[in-house]
Amino acid sequence: MAQILTAIYLLMMLAGGWRLFGLGWPLWVKGLVAIGLVCPLPLLVLLPGMLHPERPFADMLRMIGFVMMGCGALCLVGGLSAARLRARRR
């Protein structure tokens, strides 16, 4: 189940980056929306590990959260760049 959720999260970030490029919003608004898209799901894993570092798997929770956040950001940027390349070809 966790792998399916992670795959869906990454695909949604890719699609979100694609759609975010097509909007005519200013760059700073796109940046805020990108942060709002990337952060919520990794924070569900990251915060328990940061709030209770004495628990047994806290370090693993922190690393999983950071990796999910990094991969989500990479997928969002990948969607942005794919949309930009497709728009350039037309």
Specify if 5 maps to a domain.
Answer: no
Q: Which of 2, 15, 4, 22 is nearest to 72 (CA)?
A: 15
Q: pLDDT tens digit string along 22-81?
A: 888 898 988 898 889 888 888 998 999 899 988 889 999 899 999 989 998 999 888 888
Specify if 84 maps to a domain.
Answer: no
Domain that holds residue 32: 27-77
Number of domains comprising the chain: 1
Specify if 4 maps to a domain.
Answer: no
Specify if 8 maps to a domain.
Answer: no
Specify if 68 maps to a domain.
Answer: yes
Tokens of 74: 């990479």
Specify if 86 maps to a domain.
Answer: no
3-class DSSP assignment, residue 53: coil
